[in-house]
């Protein structure tokens, strides 16, 4: 067998522990069936609540981790709310976003916000993304990379704003991953899916919490209709 010798060494050790060779009849078929069906594991009770309870759990989990969460009646309210937020924080009325059609369709022209498009740059203060789904069990946003929502939006700016539809907040991780697969299609998963549960923080230095060490200091999440 050709290929990476280190990889083969690791796989050989795993086979030895399992007591198999790896070429037994039917073994590859069993593995392929499991991959194709992607069976779910045990789902915790907290991830099996009704929609209203899941949204409350999602909100509480994010807020407990330092994020700000606000519910909007419709996504068209977001530009005015964001403009007010930026003014209140004395931040530039500028916003970086990708080419996401849901974000582009909002009435930005009713505000003085200057929009910038494409991957984030080091000089950007605020970015906005649209999360296609979230897992309520841990308050985690699933942000798939691509031209519509570049990954740099999640990490470079000081403040990251994320929009998510209420109907896209699911209970367990298994359902969130299922939605990502369904959205992109079999064999076409995005290069990166960033799981975000709050603003960046670390306590590596003398066990002191430092905000913004590896990403935004502030995470603001707006829940609205799609």
Range of the domain at 153: 45-224
59 and 99, same domain (yes or no): yes
Rounded CA separation 186/200 (Å): 32
**Average pLDDT over every residue of 171-190:** 89
pLDDT score at 23: 80
Pair 156, 187 in one domain: yes
Rounded to whole angstroms, the Cα distance separating 203 from 210 reads: 6
Q: Are residues 11 and 76 in the same domain?
A: no
Does residue 147 sit in the same domain as residue 66?
yes
The pLDDT value recorded for residue 98 is: 97
Looking up residue 96, the CATH number of its domain turns out to be 3.40.50.10420
Above 90 in pLDDT, residue 205? no
Residue 33 shares a structural domain with residue 52:
no
Clarify whether residues 107 and 201 are in a common domain.
Answer: yes
Same-domain status, 182 and 104: yes
CA neighbor of 220 nearest in space, from 166, 162, 134, 181: 162
Let me know whether 24 and 68 are in one domain. no
Q: Who's near 189: CB < 8 A, 6+ residues apart?
A: 180, 181
Query: Looking at residue 1, what is its pLDDT?
Result: 46
Based on the fold, state whether residues 31 and 114 are members of the same structural domain: no
Residue 211 pLDDT level (bands cut at 50, 70, 90): low
Residue 72's contacts (CB-CB under 8 Å, 6 or more residues apart) are 78, 81, 222, 223, 224
| Residue 2 pLDDT greater than 70, yes or no | no
In terms of C-beta density within 10 A (0-12 exposed, 13-18 middle, 19 or more buried), how is residue 73 classed?
exposed
Report whether pLDDT(164) > 70: yes
Give all strands (DSSP E) within 131-180, no chain letters: 133-135, 140-144, 159-165, 169-170
- Residues 151, 55 share a domain: yes
Task: Supply the pLDDT for residue 215.
Answer: 66
Whether 10 has a pLDDT exceeding 90, the answer reads yes
Per-residue model confidence (pLDDT) at position 206: 62
**Greater model confidence, 215 or 119:** 119
pLDDT of residue 186: 74
Q: Confidence band (pLDDT; 50, 70, 90) for 33?
A: confident
Strand-pair partners of 71: 223
Statement to judge: residues 4 and 50 lie in one domain: no
Q: How many domains does the chain have?
A: 2
Closest listed residue to residue 133, CA positions, set 97, 165, 93: 165
Closest C-alpha to 197, from 80, 59, 93: 59
In this prediction the pTM is 0.83
Residue 97 vs residues 17, 125, 160, 217, 224: alpha-carbon distances, Å: 49, 12, 10, 18, 18
Q: Tell whether 198 and 90 lie within a shared domain.
A: yes
pLDDT of amino acid 185: 82
Residue 202 pLDDT: 59
pLDDT in tens, 62-117: 999 999 999 999 999 999 999 999 999 999 999 999 999 999 999 999 999 999 99
* DSSP structure class, residue 83: H
Q: What is the mean pLDDT of the chain?
A: 90
């Amino acid at each position: 067998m050709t290929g990476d010798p280190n990889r083969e060494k690791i796989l050989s050790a795993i086979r030895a522990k399992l007591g198999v060779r790896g070429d037994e009849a039917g073994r590859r078929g069993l593995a392929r069936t499991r991959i194709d069906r992607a069976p779910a594991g045990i789902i915790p009770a907290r991830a099996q609540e009704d929609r209203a309870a899941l949204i409350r759990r999602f909100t509480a989990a994010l807020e407990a981790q330092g994020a700000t969460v606000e519910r909007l009646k419709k996504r068209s309210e977001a530009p005015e709310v964001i403009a007010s937020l930026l003014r209140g924080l004395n931040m530039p009325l500028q916003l970086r976003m990708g080419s996401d059609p849901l974000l582009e369709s909002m009435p930005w022209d009713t505000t003085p916000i200057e929009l910038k498009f494409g991957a984030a740059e080091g000089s950007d203060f605020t970015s906005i993304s649209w999360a296609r789904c979230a897992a309520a069990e841990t308050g985690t946003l699933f942000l798939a990379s691509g031209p519509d929502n570049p990954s740099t939006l999640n990490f470079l700016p000081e403040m990251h704003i994320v929009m998510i539809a209420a109907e896209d907040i699911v209970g367990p991780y298994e359902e969130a991953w299922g939605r990502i697969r369904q959205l992109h299609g079999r064999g076409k998963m995005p290069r990166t899916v960033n799981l975000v549960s709050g603003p960046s923080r670390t306590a590596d230095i003398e066990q002191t919490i430092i905000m913004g060490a590896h990403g935004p200091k502030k995470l603001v999440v707006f829940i609205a209709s799609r």
